[in-house]
Chains A and B, each alone.
Chain A
């Protein structure tokens, strides 16, 4: 008789807190269920309180890998972008979140995982390893990523320099990169403020860009980052003009 093969979960003997910070995560029924509720709740809150408007949402692919790149000036950014995702991508698009902040406390980690499907990004000690993890997600698991290449929230709402990590991730590959601009999130909930104000938030998603022809070098990566920053800036300005 053939013996049954058991493959126990690697999470079995870990505590709940350890389970939350383990990445890559395996699909979990509980997290998917909570996320379904969370997404509905987010959409209601964003529709009523922030009167969220999404322009160019159709640019986001319904399946397959992509990188969504946006400006970062508020804690609302990642959850606002989650509202722009098509339902099929809810469990497949990972928001790169600062490990030192979002995975430092249990409830923050839980909220980040449920609402934004956060992946812990170690921006301080080992960003190279985190970038490799991102590359695996994109190229091996064919999942999607949401990134804020500024690396941190802008204190004054002005777009900062883009780090070259995004370039290293996509230069020389055929993964579509979508620039997006989030307007109003800074006014609603800037850095340092405790309670979000009811201001309109608008997300503008640009057409996908590909960098297959860019060289996978330091200069190539910087050029990609600079190009994406220009795209995001333009999206921001075209909103101001209209």
Chain B
């Protein structure tokens, strides 16, 4: 997938859906704002909604420009997410470790660009080796387990996990898969927020995120099942099994990704990880679920359809 996709029928289809949802959301919120003037919840929802008008084009443009833009865009997103993580943990003060992780993320982008799948899979080994050797080369021990540990988590989670989103471009039918994934995960986030507000009383994981409820979680998985069912004709190769797995990966994985970052934020004692998107927070607050979902979705496709990728037993 190297050419422009702006006129591709699948791209146009998804662009129309995004446009329709944004417009419908705007009308609904506008009506709500008129009905309940001065409500703080509505005001914060409006702020969050406004940011979507920035986020949606930010995702749509690289997708439209194809592989040449998607791989750099995902690499930049990884760098931005790791940067926020480094700022939040205080790791950013150690330039040896942060520099090594930045470089490793760029290497991952290059490996993705040249379609070197074997290296894509074993790069984490080399990066862990590099990060563990840094204290040795610096002849330092104090606090080094913490720095190395945070850096390893940073590369694996924000670099390698998210990197699977870029590696998707090397699979056949990458465009419909990527368009599906970005839309489904975004809608799932909105669903998680709304169902959590509307349904359920029993807290899901009270220490991690007191506002998440069992009712909201189940509602969210149901919503993602509906999304997958509605978009099933736009997912090439997928049979019933893959559709069910997709719904579970997006519905469950999306919420888990959100909660993983909640654990990070709670442990650090920070509310948001940035202020890039008013109403959302930073890059990491916005793309937390995509990070968790991307590798699961990628390997589901690679397992069933990735010929020559040796991911199925005996393959």
Residues of A within 8 A of B (CB): 4, 6-9, 11-16, 18, 26, 29
Q: Is B121 an interface residue (CB 8 A)?
A: no
Q: Are A14 and B275 in contact (CB under 8 A)?
A: yes
- List residues of chain A with CB within 8 A of the CB of B213: none
Q: Are B271 and A13 in contact (CB under 8 A)?
A: yes
- List residues of chain A with CB within 8 A of the CB of B17: none
State how many angstroms separate the Cβ of B96 from the closest Cβ of chain A: 11
Chain B 96-137 against A: per-residue CB contact (8 Å), 1 yes, 0 no?
A: 001100100000000000000000000000000000000000
Of B87, B267, B272, B276, the contact of A9 (CB 8 Å cutoff):
B87
Q: Contacts A12-B87, A29-B102 known; list 4 others, CB within 8 Å.
A: A6-B269, A9-B92, A13-B272, A29-B95
Of B90, B267, B271, B276, the contact of A15 (CB 8 Å cutoff):
B276
Q: Is B56 an interface residue (CB 8 A)?
A: no
What would 9 A/B residue contacts be, using CB atoms closer than 8 Å?
A6-B88, A8-B90, A8-B269, A12-B84, A12-B270, A14-B275, A15-B276, A26-B93, A29-B102
- List residues of chain B with CB within 8 A of the CB of A11: 87
Question: Given A14-B275, A15-B275, are A6 and B268 also a contact pair (CB < 8 Å)?
Answer: yes
The 4 closest A-B pairs by CB, nearest first: A7-B90, A9-B87, A15-B275, A4-B146
Name B98's closest neighbour in chain A (CB-CB). Answer: A29
Name B87's closest neighbour in chain A (CB-CB). Answer: A9
State how many angstroms separate the Cβ of B27 from the closest Cβ of chain A: 29
Main secondary structure of the interface of B (DSSP, over half): helix
- List residues of chain B with CB within 8 A of the CB of A26: 93
Question: Given A4-B146, A8-B89, are A13 and B99 also a contact pair (CB < 8 Å)?
Answer: no
Question: Given A29-B98, A29-B99, are A8 and B270 also a contact pair (CB < 8 Å)?
Answer: yes
- List residues of chain A with CB within 8 A of the CB of B269: 6, 8
A-B contact count (CB 8 A): 45
- List residues of chain A with CB within 8 A of the CB of B273: 12
Q: Is B163 an interface residue (CB 8 A)?
A: no
Q: Is B295 an interface residue (CB 8 A)?
A: no
Q: Are B99 and A8 in contact (CB under 8 A)?
A: no
Q: Is B196 an interface residue (CB 8 A)?
A: no
- List residues of chain B with CB within 8 A of the CB of A9: 87-88, 90, 92
Q: Is B274 an interface residue (CB 8 A)?
A: yes
A26 to B95, CA, bound (A): 12
Question: Which residues of B155-199 have CB atoms within 8 Å of chain A's CB atoms?
Answer: none
Name A32's closest neighbour in chain B (CB-CB). Answer: B95
Q: Are B87 and A6 in contact (CB under 8 A)?
A: no
State how many angstroms separate the Cβ of B175 from the closest Cβ of chain A: 32
Question: Given A15-B276, A29-B98, A29-B99, are A6 and B271 also a contact pair (CB < 8 Å)?
Answer: no
Question: Given A4-B146, A6-B90, A8-B87, are A13 and B270 also a contact pair (CB < 8 Å)?
Answer: yes
State how many angstroms separate the Cβ of B85 from the closest Cβ of chain A: 10
- List residues of chain A with CB within 8 A of the CB of B267: 6
- List residues of chain A with CB within 8 A of the CB of B90: 6-9
Q: Are A12 and B88 in contact (CB under 8 A)?
A: yes
Q: Are A8 and B275 in contact (CB under 8 A)?
A: no
- List residues of chain A with CB within 8 A of the CB of B281: 13
A4 to B275, CA, bound (A): 26
A4 to B99, CA, bound (A): 21
Q: Are A8 and B268 in contact (CB under 8 A)?
A: yes
- List residues of chain A with CB within 8 A of the CB of B99: 29
Q: Are B88 and A8 in contact (CB under 8 A)?
A: yes
Question: Which residues of B261-310 have CB atoms within 8 Å of chain A's CB atoms?
Answer: 267-276, 281
- List residues of chain B with CB within 8 A of the CB of A13: 270-272, 274-275, 281
State how many angstroms separate the Cβ of A128 from the closest Cβ of chain B: 31
A11 to B270, CA, bound (A): 12
Name A4's closest neighbour in chain B (CB-CB). Answer: B146
- List residues of chain B with CB within 8 A of the CB of A7: 90, 93
A31 to B269, CA, bound (A): 27
Name B83's closest neighbour in chain A (CB-CB). Answer: A30
